[in-house]
Chains A and B, each alone.
Chain A
Amino acid sequence: MLDPVITPELIAKHGLTTEEFQRIKDILKREPNFTEMGIFSVMWSEHCSYKNSRLELRKFPTTGPRVLVKAGEENAGVIDIGDGWGVAFKMESHNHPSAVEPFQGAATGVGGILRDIFTMGARPVFLMNSLRFGDIRPDKPNAATNRRLLSGVVSGIAHYGNCIGVPTVGGEIYFDASYDGNPLVNVFCLGTLKTNEIQRGAATGVGNPVFYVGARTGRDGLAGAAFASRDLTEDSKADRPAVQVGDPFIEKLLLEACLELFQHPEAIVGVQDMGAAGLTCSTCETASRGNSGIEIDLALVPQREPGMTPYETMLSESQERMLVIVRAGHEATITKIFEKWDLPCALIGRVTDDGFMRVKNHGATVAEIPAKQLADEAPLYKREATRPADLDERQKLDLTSIPEADIHDVLGKLLATPDLASKRWVYRQYDHMVRVGTVTAPGSDAAVVRIPTGENAWKYLAASVDCNAHYVALEPKLGALIAVAECARNLAMTGAEPLALTDNLNFGNPHNPENFYMLQQSVDGLAEGCRAFDIPVTGGNVSLYNQSPAGPIDPTPTVGIVGIIRDVKHITPSHFQNSGDAIILIGDIGEELGASLYLREIHGLKRGRPPELNLDREKKMHDAVRSLIRLGEIRSAHDLAEGGLLVALAECAIGGTKHLGATITLDLSYSRLDAFLFGESQSRATITTRPENASALVALLELRGVPARRLGTVGGNELKVQVSGPTPHEFSWDVSSLHQIWNGALDSYLS
């Protein structure tokens, strides 16, 4: 078959600008052929090259005493957790594929992040995810489509994770019209490894054989990276050949075979998964990292379909494949292991020393490109950034024009909103218990997982993913900062100290200066948050072009933080545990209603400035809670987030399995009752303790500069709230009715 003639239209269709095409010619010192142009186009897509965001990412702190592999160095960062053990973790998006085919899109997203982790030599031990959809309530526009996307994505994640046997232990899901037509599917994976067994993705040692292992190559996902680097349009459905189908069964075999292979360090030089841009990316990146060259022959690549062209083979994004550089003379080690696992394994080329990525087909050279320039020297753009013209206006909030809603009613309504409702409908589709490590299952502030580090020796990790995109949309830097704070806060509640952070930057088209401003400010916020909590960024992902014809999504810089709990005794639940325990509020009574769930859901207002964040106060609060937990005096701890104080108290009552009520007395001055009860001021939490300890704990907290006061007592079948002050109020809710509302809401929208 003849390659098409390269025309300006064809260049544009590959997403390359005239300048970029010129640069390709400068690198090659000649015209590229069709295959070479395809290779450049995927490597220089935003998805692979971060050409629009890389300069921003440099702002992140990436070093620290525990960092063993830094962000950007390899497929995932690695953090030292002591005693010779490390963890590799990372978050990655599969937004566009999921918009087109939710089940397969989400499933292959999970497959991809798993490979990023086990390429590092780590055994994946848990998964989490962060999802965004348009509203699913029957009376909302596009509800049926959004429900279909949600069900598809959830079953896709469940299918892949359950089948491969890695538990999905946590995540977050939020709904907003800005995600109509462009859902977000961010998946997180963490794996554990011995620190002396970290694998690298470098091709070194001239003459060393290059092996292809795993699933055969087909035409699926042709140019998926380019697809992810474009706006979603009405025509995106016509891009259907890009749909990749995952096979978790093969991935499980690939995982076990690779881990078995890594037990033979004498045989392994480097390993790299084939994710976005498949063979192209894995060959040029390993060569570039190894300061070497690489030569492969496509005729040797295991193929699923007959008659694939070099262009198709190089750009295919077939799943469940890996590239392994083997030390010459040890070929039998790899072939034997892959035979045992019944997986294709083929010698497809060699490491060279000329710096070129040379692709042959039946001996004839079809592409020859300097690997380093292809992999690492994509053009970098400093995009224009402008503060959105309407941001100041959207931050304005005139509370006098907003009537106070009926408090009793509001709590029920908020608990039934898809954002707050129990996510049981979702997580009970995920196997969250396989690998007998899940100590704190989904439904708490953070997941807690024990990982074996020897015979009956364990370490306890806590992890959470968070982002309140409403805050980010209304003040990006502050919103991103709060995302870090909230995530760290969730960890602190379980007794954990944060170790490191991964992020997934989901934004609209970067060519729009207002979108780029949101990205830039968010990165500033994340970076500041990381420095404040003294945690490095160990990796992440950037997903741009998240917009539908109606406009960009709310900017969503999702963060995932992993922490460690020193002692099993410190693992603390979120929900009320015992009748009679004293309830203590940590932090100030705030009345900030800007950007709150209450305004959105009860008054239909997406506006106001997000609550302020004092980092020093936030950190003091986390440290105080952790030290009280270590003293053994905290029975439960739950942070205050969306919905404020009253929602947090209700969650403590109806979450978990015990369903205990509480009596709360608030003798405080406030200006508005709704702001007082539903405001989302930061740096707050409720903890419970034995009643005889309450006053001592309050004193201890104040000593540490953390405001605290006793709010009431756990017990009974009701949540009772008495508010004194100029006009006293008394409210009570039946715990089991609140539970019913909250627990059944998603089911009712989805069945």
Chain B
Amino acid sequence: MIRLTDQPFDPGALLTAFAEGRSETGAIATFTGIARAEAGATAILELEAYPGFTEAEIGRIADQARARFGLHDLAILHRIGRIGPGEPIVFVATAAGHRRAAFEACDFLMDYLKSRAPFWKKEHGPGGERWIEPTAQDHADRERWDKETTG
């Protein structure tokens, strides 16, 4: 499942659905990204996607993850539109035979979503609005996967 939504979602409900009926899967890893309040500065995030293209690009990254880590399944849900503090922005779940593959695939998918997936993020804060670009750390995180071989 790869999906964009402009509505708030409950990551737990997604995990419940994802975990159901998996008698051959030994390991499920998930990641939930949440809009931080940043120490009281009640910012609103605004996330823009390119409908169709964004899902297709995420799909290509997902296919890479499936092949590289031998995943049984994966799920990605990404919010778009206006997101309030404390609301989930992104949910990624990976299912694999063993935990190392599940963890690494989840980590890999998040690194790509952070720095290469077609989203644009604007922060509306008390001091006005600004577009947010990936940090140097985000780029460094993603580049780990170009070097590493899967263990």
Do A and B truly interact? no
